[in-house]
């Protein structure tokens, strides 16, 4: 086997072990490093390809890529990671698009039908992933309105564009030399990416990102066939399959179908902040509490389960939360973190933030493992989580979150909720948990409340 093939086999093994390692927070960092080494080996191997004419442009590309990506990876905050990922997908897809165009431009006069079909599919997927991912990034970053942009007959228009692309692809296979077909297909695919994302709200973008991840992987696999490059077929297939599985898992955890995400225009897209002017829900009073009262409750507790959510990420409260949890542990209070699969706005959002704050992995518990424990727990401390604690998911058939598995916070002996107001979460619905007998609302920014709890703890205990 040649040096290049050896490099490719080694990098494929590293990619597979890397992806496998991502399934646990304990091994995820190592998995990322292994995959990065795998990519480096694949790149080095490719540099030995005898067909390389000049290294000038390769070096220019390497320098540009490094100069652009280094500051992004160093300075983009955790709350902006979804749009950063979308931008990476756009970059990869654009590269795939350019390669497809170059291949067609060079060989179209002698291209067999099969190869024309492969290049056609490749540029189609790459072009729609490119514009679609740019739209996702713009919506998430607030450069475009985050709300679903809908007009009458939108689904029909999208369907017509899609059918037109398929027809053009078939014509291209039958007439590989007809360049107009190729460039028309390419233009429509760019347009389709925009049309596809327009009706989807910003809050659903993580599922769309995972879907585009899958399309990007497919592009890469098809490109591998086009260039007869085995490592690209392997990485593309891995990427495509893992992106697809991730989208399915996220939809399952939200109890929604992919069709509903793509065409359902579900959910509130921007959580507005307001003061708790009238602390009531459905005209039922809610109980509020002050920092000192919360501290008094904690002083009597033996066990606490912390439930982090999107609000913890927004307020960057994870470090203060860990500090408070450490104080409780020092007083021999059992502390566990309950992690809902879709808490936050991207898969693993809570795990990543809590790892950043050095919360031990052994303190994190998946929903199914922790749910039976709530009933025996003295205090459930909810930090910026809302939908993932809403009991309506169990009983209210008309609720948009009906059927979504939730954390059994309402079963805990006492519940303390840190949030700024009675505003709903992502789904836009009210939470019955807040009017239950044992629930107390500690209004305020989560980071401020937790910092005050830590401070009060030092002074009063
Ligand atoms: P939610 O969006 O339901 O609620 C977040 C809560 O945080 C709000 O009620 C808000 O209340 C509060 N909050 C916001 N800012 C602050 C702050 N600075 N300090 C304190 N509280 C704050 O979050 P959950 O994590 O419970 O649920 C996630 C939702 O996102 C689910 O509906 C899920 O389906 C959805 N989703 C998740 C995805 C994923 O992959 N994780 C992907 C797509 C959707 P207030 O404004 O009153 O402070």
User: Which positions are annotated as active-site residues?
Assistant: 387
pLDDT digits (tens, 9 = 90+) for 52-108: 999 999 999 999 999 988 988 888 887 788 889 999 999 999 999 999 999 999 998
> If you measure from the C-alpha of residue 96 to the centroid of ligand 1, how many angstroms do you get, rounded to a whole number?
35
Tell me the domain boundaries of the chain: 76-263, 287-460
pLDDT value of position 125? 94
Query: Residues with Cβ < 8 Å from 250, sequence gap 6 or more?
Result: 206, 207, 210, 341, 342, 347
Question: How large is the average pLDDT for residues 105-130?
Answer: 94
pLDDT digits (tens, 9 = 90+) for 227-245: 888 888 999 999 999 999 9
The Cα–Cα gap between 241 and 235 comes to 10
pLDDT value of position 352? 86
Residue 156 CA, chain-centre distance (Å), reads 28
C-beta neighbour count of 251 within 10 angstroms: 20
pLDDT digits (tens, 9 = 90+) for 378-417: 999 999 999 999 999 998 888 878 888 999 999 999 999 9
pLDDT value of position 461? 66
Per-residue pLDDT band for 252 (boundaries 50, 70, 90) equals: confident
> If you measure from the C-alpha of residue 427 to the centroid of ligand 1, how many angstroms do you get, rounded to a whole number?
9
Mean of the per-residue pLDDT values for the chain?
A: 90
pLDDT value of position 438? 96
Backbone conformation region of residue 268, classed left if phi is above 0, alpha if psi is from -120 to 50, else beta = beta
CATH 3.40.50.1220 holds for 287-460: yes
Ligand 1 site, CB within 6 A: 203-204, 206-207, 250, 254, 271, 273, 309-311, 314-315, 342-347, 349, 384-388, 418-421, 423, 425-427, 445-446
Pocket test for ligand 1, best of 270, 272, 338, 419 (most atoms within 8 A of CB): 419
| H/E segment holding residue 416 | strand 414-419
> If you measure from the C-alpha of residue 337 to the centroid of ligand 1, how many angstroms do you get, rounded to a whole number?
16
Question: Which atom of ligand 1 is the closest one to the Cα of 271?
Answer: 46
Q: Give the CA angle between residues 442, 443, 444 to the nearest 5°.
A: 120
pLDDT digits (tens, 9 = 90+) for 127-168: 999 999 999 999 888 899 878 888 889 889 999 999 999 999
The Cα–Cα gap between 100 and 412 comes to 57
C-beta neighbour count of 9 within 10 angstroms: 16
> If you measure from the C-alpha of residue 375 to the centroid of ligand 1, how many angstroms do you get, rounded to a whole number?
24
pLDDT value of position 391? 94
Per-residue pLDDT band for 327 (boundaries 50, 70, 90) equals: very high
Please say whether the beta carbons of 363 and 336 come within 8 A: yes
In the chain, % of residues over pLDDT 70: 95
Question: Which atom of ligand 1 is the closest one to the Cα of 404?
Answer: 34
Pocket test for ligand 1, best of 338, 420, 429, 448 (most atoms within 8 A of CB): 420
- Atom 14 of ligand 1, nearest CA residue: 311
Question: Which atom of ligand 1 is the closest one to the Cα of 341?
Answer: 41
Burial of 154 (0-12, 13-18, 19+ CB in 10 A): middle
Backbone conformation region of residue 200, classed left if phi is above 0, alpha if psi is from -120 to 50, else beta = beta
pLDDT value of position 91? 92
pLDDT digits (tens, 9 = 90+) for 160-201: 999 999 999 999 999 999 999 999 999 999 999 999 999 887
Please say whether the beta carbons of 385 and 312 come within 8 A: yes
Please say whether the beta carbons of 161 and 154 come within 8 A: no
Residue 102 CA, chain-centre distance (Å), reads 32
Per-residue pLDDT band for 254 (boundaries 50, 70, 90) equals: confident
> If you measure from the C-alpha of residue 402 to the centroid of ligand 1, how many angstroms do you get, rounded to a whole number?
17
Pairing between strand 284-285 and 280-281? antiparallel
The Cα–Cα gap between 277 and 281 comes to 12
Question: Which atom of ligand 1 is the closest one to the Cα of 385?
Answer: 26
Which segment, 1-5, 222-226, 336-340, is predicted with the most confidence on average? 336-340
Per-residue pLDDT band for 259 (boundaries 50, 70, 90) equals: confident
Per-residue pLDDT band for 47 (boundaries 50, 70, 90) equals: very high
């Amino acid at each position: 086997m040649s040096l290049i093939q050896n490099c490719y086999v080694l990098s494929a093994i590293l990619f597979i072990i890397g992806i496998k390692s991502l399934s646990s927070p304990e091994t995820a960092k190592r998995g990322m490093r292994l995959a990065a080494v795998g990519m480096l080996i694949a790149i080095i191997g490719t540099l030995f390809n005898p067909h390389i004419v000049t290294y000038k442009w390769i070096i220019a590309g390497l320098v540009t890529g490094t100069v652009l990506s280094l500051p992004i990876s160093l300075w983009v905050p955790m709350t902006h990671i979804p749009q950063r990922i979308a931008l990476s997908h756009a970059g990869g897809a654009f590269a795939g698009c350019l390669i497809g165009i170059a291949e067609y431009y060079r060989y179209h006069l002698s291209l067999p039908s099969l190869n024309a079909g492969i290049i056609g599919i490749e540029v189609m997927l790459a072009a729609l992933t490119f514009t679609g991912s740019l739209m996702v990034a713009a919506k998430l970053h607030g450069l475009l309105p985050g709300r679903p942009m809908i007009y009458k007959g939108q689904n029909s228009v999208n369907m017509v564009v899609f059918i037109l692309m398929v027809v053009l692809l078939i014509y291209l296979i039958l007439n590989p030399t007809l360049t107009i077909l190729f460039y028309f297909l390419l233009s429509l695919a760019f347009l389709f990416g925009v049309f596809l994302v327009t009706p989807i709200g910003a809050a659903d973008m993580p599922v769309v990102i995972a879907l585009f991840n899958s399309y990007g992987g497919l592009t890469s696999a098809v490109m591998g066939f086009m260039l007869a490059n085995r490592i690209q077929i392997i990485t593309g297939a891995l990427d495509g399959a893992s992106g697809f599985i991730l989208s399915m898992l996220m939809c399952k955890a939200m109890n929604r179908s992919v069709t509903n995400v793509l065409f359902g225009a579900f959910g509130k897209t921007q959580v507005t902040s307001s003061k708790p002017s009238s602390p009531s829900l459905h005209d039922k009073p809610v109980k509020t509490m002050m920092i000192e009262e919360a501290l008094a409750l904690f002083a009597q507790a033996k066990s606490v389960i912390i439930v982090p959510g999107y609000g913890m990420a927004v307020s960057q409260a994870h470090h203060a939360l860990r500090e408070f949890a450490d104080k409780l542990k020092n007083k021999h209070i059992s502390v566990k973190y309950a992690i809902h699969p879709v808490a936050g706005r991207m898969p693993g959002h809570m795990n990543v933030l809590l790892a950043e704050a050095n919360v031990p992995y052994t303190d994190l518990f998946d929903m199914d493992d922790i749910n039976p424990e709530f009933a025996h727990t003295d205090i459930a401390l909810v930090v910026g989580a809302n939908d993932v604690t809403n009991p309506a998911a169990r009983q209210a058939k008309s609720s948009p979150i009906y059927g979504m598995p939730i954390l059994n916070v309402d079963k805990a002996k006492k519940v303390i909720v840190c949030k700024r107001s009675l505003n709903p979460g992502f789904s836009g619905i009210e939470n019955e948990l807040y009017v239950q007998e044992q629930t107390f609302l500690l209004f305020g920014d989560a980071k401020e409340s937790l910092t005050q709890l830590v401070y009060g703890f030092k002074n009063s205990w």
